[in-house]
Amino acid sequence: MPELPEVETVRRGLTNLVAGRTVESTEVRWEKIVGGLTAEEFDQALRNQTILKIDRRGKYLLFRFTGDITMVSHLRMEGSYYTVPAGTEPGKHDLVTFHLDHGVDLFYRDTRKFGRMNIVPNDQVMTVAGLATIGPEPTESDLTIDYMISEFGKSKMHVKPFLLNQNHIAGLGNIYVDETLWQSKIHPLTSANQLTVEELTILRKNIIAELARATEHHGTTVHSFTNVFGNAGEFQNELEVYGRVGEPCLRCGTPLIKTKVAQRGTTYCPVCQVERTK
């Protein structure tokens, strides 16, 4: 699933390609994608509306249109956008076409069909499922140490699933949770409320820095992620633990091991990330 750096990379590309363009019409080939609307209702909502800008909140893209409406797009596992010349025949997995002015079509492709689009009035964006309870952005200004101390202190949940829960911090997924826990020398099975203020301070710093660095490298391509120009990310070349099971820890040389935590594959160093007793 694209995490914050990948979604931000998509947002930046879409801004360059389609911001300021007007939707002349749409075609929907899989109605479950479009949030309970029929293909005709979806088309009526967006027809002749102009894309003013594209924002992001966590892993959600927010297409801001004229008419005081926003299309909330969640890519889920495999969703992606790309532009083609008008009249290009859509492929098997191109589920939505936005026919834009000036001879451009925007395709939404989703091999797994898990993505979703919801059109809502601007003042109702934060009522969309997922956004209504989303945690702060992992930035210096939004993710404060006071928030970390308060939020982590309330939970006995293991820190890995705690971080994966978007209600606590927005945008983190399996890759960057493994990376930042290793950087912070925290075992993934540590209870959130066991972390000290010092550990939370280090973890906060690493989360903010890692996601910013991954964004600068245009995200991570492990399986299929590409940006709107069809290019893979670059951050997979910078990963320190994810995907390196059996290889030496870059800090101590111990072979990295992999286990399941909350049903998610988890790579860590058994020496640097010591499991603490209850």
Q: Is 47 an annotated catalytic residue?
A: no
The rounded distance, in Å, linking the Cα atoms of 100 and 85 is: 10
Asked if residue 99 belongs to a known ligand binding site, the reply is no
* List 3, 6, 8, 179, catalytic entry: 3
Closest CA to 215 of 137, 129, 108: 137
Determine whether 146 is exposed, middle or buried from the number of CB atoms within 10 Å of its CB (0-12, 13-18, 19+).
exposed
**Region of residue 62 (left: phi > 0; alpha: psi -120 to 50; beta: else):** beta
* List 56, 59, 64, 160, catalytic entry: 59
Asked if residue 93 belongs to a known ligand binding site, the reply is yes
Instruction: Tell whether the torsion through CA atoms of 264, 31, 55 and 220 is positive or negative.
Output: positive
Q: Is 2 an annotated catalytic residue?
A: yes
Q: How far is CA 163 from CA 108, 227, 231, in A?
A: 29, 25, 28
Q: Is 59 an annotated catalytic residue?
A: yes
* List 27, 31, 264, 270, catalytic entry: 264
Q: Is 3 an annotated catalytic residue?
A: yes
Return binding residues for DNA.
93, 112
Point out the residues that are catalytic: 2-3, 59, 264
Residue list for the binding site: 93, 112
